[in-house]
Protein backbone atom coordinates (compact mmCIF):
# COMPACT_ATOMS: atom_id res chain seq x y z
CA UNK A 1 0.00 0.00 0.00
CA UNK A 2 1.43 3.37 -1.00
CA UNK A 3 2.00 5.99 1.65
CA UNK A 4 -0.03 9.17 1.63
CA UNK A 5 2.14 12.26 1.07
CA UNK A 6 5.51 10.45 1.23
CA UNK A 7 8.57 12.55 2.16
CA UNK A 8 10.85 13.87 -0.57
CA UNK A 9 13.62 11.32 -0.04
CA UNK A 10 11.13 8.48 -0.41
CA UNK A 11 9.78 10.00 -3.61
CA UNK A 12 13.31 10.08 -5.00
CA UNK A 13 13.88 6.47 -3.90
CA UNK A 14 10.64 5.45 -5.64
CA UNK A 15 12.13 6.60 -8.94
CA UNK A 16 15.68 5.31 -8.44
CA UNK A 17 14.55 1.84 -7.39
CA UNK A 18 12.70 1.10 -10.65
CA UNK A 19 15.72 -0.47 -12.45
CA UNK A 20 15.79 -3.12 -9.70
CA UNK A 21 12.26 -4.34 -10.39
CA UNK A 22 13.41 -6.90 -12.98
CA UNK A 23 16.44 -8.13 -11.06
CA UNK A 24 16.84 -10.92 -8.47
CA UNK A 25 17.43 -8.27 -5.78
CA UNK A 26 14.80 -8.43 -3.05
CA UNK A 27 13.74 -5.81 -0.50
CA UNK A 28 15.38 -7.87 2.25
CA UNK A 29 18.69 -7.79 0.35
CA UNK A 30 18.54 -4.00 0.41
CA UNK A 31 17.66 -4.00 4.11
CA UNK A 32 20.73 -6.06 4.96
CA UNK A 33 22.96 -3.93 2.72
CA UNK A 34 21.63 -0.87 4.50
CA UNK A 35 22.52 -2.38 7.86
CA UNK A 36 26.08 -3.24 6.84
CA UNK A 37 26.70 0.26 5.46
CA UNK A 38 25.24 1.89 8.58
CA UNK A 39 27.37 -0.27 10.89
CA UNK A 40 30.50 0.49 8.88
CA UNK A 41 29.78 4.20 9.13
CA UNK A 42 29.09 3.98 12.87
CA UNK A 43 32.36 2.11 13.50
CA UNK A 44 34.29 4.82 11.68
CA UNK A 45 32.68 7.42 13.92
CA UNK A 46 33.84 5.44 16.96
CA UNK A 47 37.50 6.02 16.09
CA UNK A 48 37.38 9.67 17.11
CA UNK A 49 39.49 10.56 14.06
CA UNK A 50 37.97 13.59 12.25
CA UNK A 51 38.73 12.29 8.75
CA UNK A 52 37.32 8.83 9.42
CA UNK A 53 34.34 10.37 11.20
CA UNK A 54 33.52 12.40 8.08
CA UNK A 55 33.59 9.27 5.92
CA UNK A 56 31.59 7.40 8.53
CA UNK A 57 28.94 10.11 8.65
CA UNK A 58 28.71 10.01 4.86
CA UNK A 59 28.22 6.25 4.90
CA UNK A 60 25.51 6.54 7.53
CA UNK A 61 23.65 9.16 5.49
CA UNK A 62 23.87 6.85 2.46
CA UNK A 63 22.50 3.97 4.53
CA UNK A 64 19.55 6.00 5.78
CA UNK A 65 18.71 7.12 2.24
CA UNK A 66 18.92 3.54 0.97
CA UNK A 67 16.57 2.56 3.79
CA UNK A 68 13.72 3.90 1.64
CA UNK A 69 14.62 1.59 -1.25
CA UNK A 70 13.53 -1.67 0.37
CA UNK A 71 10.02 -0.45 1.09
CA UNK A 72 9.63 1.08 -2.36
CA UNK A 73 10.95 -2.05 -4.06
CA UNK A 74 8.51 -4.14 -2.00
CA UNK A 75 5.54 -1.96 -2.93
CA UNK A 76 6.36 -1.63 -6.63
CA UNK A 77 7.22 -5.30 -7.10
CA UNK A 78 4.37 -6.62 -4.96
CA UNK A 79 6.84 -8.27 -2.56
CA UNK A 80 5.59 -6.77 0.68
CA UNK A 81 5.83 -9.18 3.60
CA UNK A 82 5.64 -9.30 7.36
CA UNK A 83 9.29 -10.36 7.46
CA UNK A 84 10.30 -7.33 5.43
CA UNK A 85 8.20 -5.07 7.65
CA UNK A 86 9.87 -6.32 10.84
CA UNK A 87 13.33 -6.45 9.26
CA UNK A 88 13.08 -2.82 8.14
CA UNK A 89 12.21 -1.72 11.67
CA UNK A 90 14.97 -3.86 13.18
CA UNK A 91 17.61 -2.55 10.77
CA UNK A 92 16.67 1.03 11.57
CA UNK A 93 16.77 0.49 15.32
CA UNK A 94 20.13 -1.33 15.23
CA UNK A 95 21.60 1.30 12.91
CA UNK A 96 20.64 4.19 15.17
CA UNK A 97 21.66 2.33 18.31
CA UNK A 98 25.10 1.68 16.79
CA UNK A 99 25.37 5.30 15.66
CA UNK A 100 24.67 6.75 19.10
CA UNK A 101 26.90 4.34 20.96
CA UNK A 102 29.79 4.74 18.51
CA UNK A 103 29.54 8.54 18.55
CA UNK A 104 29.64 8.43 22.34
CA UNK A 105 32.65 6.14 22.27
CA UNK A 106 34.38 8.42 19.79
CA UNK A 107 33.94 11.36 22.17
CA UNK A 108 35.14 9.53 25.28
CA UNK A 109 38.24 11.78 25.38
CA UNK A 110 36.18 14.98 25.03
CA UNK A 111 35.14 17.33 27.84
CA UNK A 112 32.26 14.97 28.61
CA UNK A 113 34.63 12.08 29.18
CA UNK A 114 32.82 8.86 29.97
CA UNK A 115 29.57 10.83 30.16
CA UNK A 116 29.77 10.89 26.37
CA UNK A 117 29.70 7.10 26.40
CA UNK A 118 26.75 7.22 28.80
CA UNK A 119 24.89 9.68 26.54
CA UNK A 120 25.62 7.48 23.53
CA UNK A 121 24.40 4.41 25.39
CA UNK A 122 21.27 6.32 26.40
CA UNK A 123 20.59 7.26 22.78
CA UNK A 124 21.16 3.66 21.75
CA UNK A 125 18.75 2.42 24.40
CA UNK A 126 16.14 4.99 23.37
CA UNK A 127 16.44 3.81 19.75
CA UNK A 128 15.84 0.19 20.73
CA UNK A 129 12.94 1.05 23.04
CA UNK A 130 11.38 3.15 20.27
CA UNK A 131 11.44 0.04 18.10
CA UNK A 132 8.87 -1.62 20.35
CA UNK A 133 6.75 1.47 20.96
CA UNK A 134 6.57 2.07 17.20
CA UNK A 135 5.49 -1.54 16.73
CA UNK A 136 2.73 -0.84 19.21
CA UNK A 137 1.66 2.34 17.42
CA UNK A 138 1.50 0.45 14.13
CA UNK A 139 -0.69 -2.22 15.71
CA UNK A 140 -3.04 0.42 17.06
CA UNK A 141 -3.37 2.12 13.66
CA UNK A 142 -3.52 -1.06 11.56
CA UNK A 143 -0.10 -0.58 9.96
CA UNK A 144 1.17 -3.87 11.34
CA UNK A 145 -1.58 -5.71 9.48
CA UNK A 146 -0.80 -4.12 6.10
CA UNK A 147 2.98 -4.20 6.52
CA UNK A 148 3.23 -0.40 6.42
CA UNK A 149 4.78 1.61 9.22
CA UNK A 150 3.14 4.85 10.25
CA UNK A 151 6.42 6.73 9.90
CA UNK A 152 7.93 9.67 11.74
CA UNK A 153 6.20 13.00 12.41
CA UNK A 154 6.68 15.28 9.42
CA UNK A 155 5.64 18.43 7.62
CA UNK A 156 6.03 19.90 4.12
CA UNK A 157 7.60 16.75 2.66
CA UNK A 158 10.14 16.27 5.45
CA UNK A 159 10.12 13.81 8.33
CA UNK A 160 11.71 14.16 11.75
CA UNK A 161 14.15 11.42 10.78
CA UNK A 162 15.43 13.53 7.86
CA UNK A 163 17.44 15.54 10.36
CA UNK A 164 19.98 12.69 10.31
CA UNK A 165 21.06 13.86 6.84
CA UNK A 166 22.70 16.82 8.57
CA UNK A 167 25.24 14.54 10.25
CA UNK A 168 27.53 14.54 7.23
CA UNK A 169 27.83 18.31 6.70
CA UNK A 170 28.10 19.06 10.43
CA UNK A 171 30.82 16.39 10.78
CA UNK A 172 32.70 17.77 7.78
CA UNK A 173 32.46 21.29 9.25
CA UNK A 174 33.68 20.08 12.64
CA UNK A 175 30.42 20.37 14.58
CA UNK A 176 29.70 16.71 15.26
CA UNK A 177 30.17 17.19 19.02
CA UNK A 178 27.19 19.52 19.58
CA UNK A 179 25.18 17.52 17.05
CA UNK A 180 25.85 14.37 19.06
CA UNK A 181 24.68 16.01 22.29
CA UNK A 182 21.52 17.38 20.66
CA UNK A 183 20.79 14.07 18.90
CA UNK A 184 21.28 12.06 22.08
CA UNK A 185 18.81 14.26 23.94
CA UNK A 186 16.46 14.26 20.95
CA UNK A 187 16.45 10.46 20.78
CA UNK A 188 15.30 10.32 24.39
CA UNK A 189 12.58 12.90 23.77
CA UNK A 190 11.38 10.97 20.71
CA UNK A 191 11.32 7.74 22.73
CA UNK A 192 9.16 9.42 25.38
CA UNK A 193 6.88 10.83 22.66
CA UNK A 194 6.30 7.37 21.17
CA UNK A 195 5.56 5.94 24.62
CA UNK A 196 3.07 8.73 25.39
CA UNK A 197 1.46 8.37 21.96
CA UNK A 198 1.07 4.62 22.35
CA UNK A 199 -0.35 5.00 25.86
CA UNK A 200 -2.88 7.56 24.61
CA UNK A 201 -3.95 5.31 21.73
CA UNK A 202 -4.47 2.37 24.06
CA UNK A 203 -6.43 4.49 26.50
CA UNK A 204 -8.68 5.79 23.71
CA UNK A 205 -9.23 2.23 22.46
CA UNK A 206 -10.18 1.18 25.98
CA UNK A 207 -12.66 4.04 26.25
CA UNK A 208 -14.32 3.02 22.98
CA UNK A 209 -14.58 -0.63 24.01
Q: Is residue 28 part of a domain?
A: yes
Domain count for the chain: 1
Q: Quick one: pLDDT at residue 124?
A: 97
Domain of 199 in residue numbering reads as 8-150+158-208
How many whole angstroms separate alpha carbon 32 and alpha carbon 118? 28
| Positions in the chain whose pLDDT score sits under 70 | 1-5, 143-160, 209
Q: Is residue 1 part of a domain?
A: no
- Reported pTM: 0.88
Q: Quick one: pLDDT at residue 1?
A: 42
Query: Length of the chain, please?
Result: 209
202: CATH: 1.20.120.1760
Amino acid sequence: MAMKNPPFDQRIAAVLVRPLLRTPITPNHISMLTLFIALAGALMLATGDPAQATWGAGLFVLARFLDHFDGELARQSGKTSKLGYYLDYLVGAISYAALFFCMGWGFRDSDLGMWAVALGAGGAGASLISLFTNFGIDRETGGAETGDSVGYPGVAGFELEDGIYLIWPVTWLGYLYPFFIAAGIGATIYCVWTWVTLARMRRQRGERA
